[in-house]
Amino acid sequence: DLQSPFLREITFELETPDVVGLQGLDWARIDAELSKREFIGITVRFYVNCDSWTRGSKIEDEIREDITNKLPGFKDRGTLRVSCI
């Protein structure tokens, strides 16, 4: 369990060349944890290490949309930022 009155941000760093690479994570559990009352108002950042040709492309948009759609409970309670790096 992660609890702190001073917690403002949680950062995830992932490496994947495409949306399929995101399927291995337990998104339901991540969403359930981030949707808890103690995380209301927090910022969650996903830095996705994509291939250099992916940045700025349609695939980057697909990755951003896929992560957002996998966290329906959290997106109404906090701020979600997804970036390909």
What is the value of pTM for the model shown?
0.81
For residue 5 the two structure tokens come to 């009155």
What span, in angstroms and rounded, lies between the C-alpha atoms of 74 and 58?
24
**For 56-74, how does the pLDDT look when each residue is reduced to its tens digit (9 = 90+)?**
678 888 888 999 999 999 9
Query: Which pLDDT score is estimated for 27?
Result: 95
For residue 35 the two structure tokens come to 């949707």
